[in-house]
């Protein structure tokens, strides 16, 4: 599975959009991009995933560049409850491994 690189930490003002980047320059054609988050010691929570098209759900939007070498998770209106570690993961959809890298610790500031 492709390796991902994320900034270790970010701050975002409450009510503003949080844009979390992820580089996955070695991604292959069959690998999906997944985003999860973990709020202090809770089980990781699924946010969104995509293959090549941009995706949106009730939680967030996922923007994948045309060459698929990077992506951005967008939380449109960050709240204090969005403070968490966000993980970008790339894997084959049929794979039985799912490796967490070092995610981004997002702090939403009042």
Partner 1 sequence: AAGVIQSPRHLIKEKRETATLKCYPIPRHDTVYWYQQGPGQDPQFLISFYEKMQSDKGSIPDRFSAQQFSDYHSELNMSSLELGDSALYFCASSVQGAVGANVLTFGAGSRLTVL
Nearer to partner 1, 13 or 93 (CB): 93
- DSSP structure class, residue 4: -
CB 62 within 8 A of CB 33: yes
Walk across the sheet containing 104-109 and list its strands: 9-13, 104-109, 84-92, 31-38, 45-50
> What three-state secondary structure class fits 81?
helix
Nearer to partner 1, 20 or 85 (CB): 85
Least distance between partner 1 and beta carbon 71 (Å): 14
Least distance between partner 1 and beta carbon 65 (Å): 18
- Residues in 35-64 at the binding interface with partner 1, rule: CB under 8 A: 38, 41-46, 49, 51
Enumerate binding residues for partner 1 (CB under 8 A). 32, 34, 38, 41-46, 49, 51, 85, 87, 93-103
């Amino acid at each position: 599975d492709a390796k991902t690189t994320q900034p270790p930490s970010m701050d975002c003002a409450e009510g503003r959009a949080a844009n979390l980047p992820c580089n996955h320059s070695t991604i292959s054609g069959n690998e999906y991009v997944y985003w999860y988050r973990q709020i202090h010691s809770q089980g990781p929570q699924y946010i969104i995933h995509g293959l090549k098209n941009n995706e949106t759900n009730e939680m967030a939007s996922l923007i994948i560049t045309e060459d698929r070498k990077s992506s951005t998770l967008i939380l449109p209106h960050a709240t204090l409850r969005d403070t968490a570690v966000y993980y970008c993961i790339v894997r084959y959809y049929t794979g039985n491994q799912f490796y967490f890298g070092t995610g981004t610790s997002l702090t939403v500031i009042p």
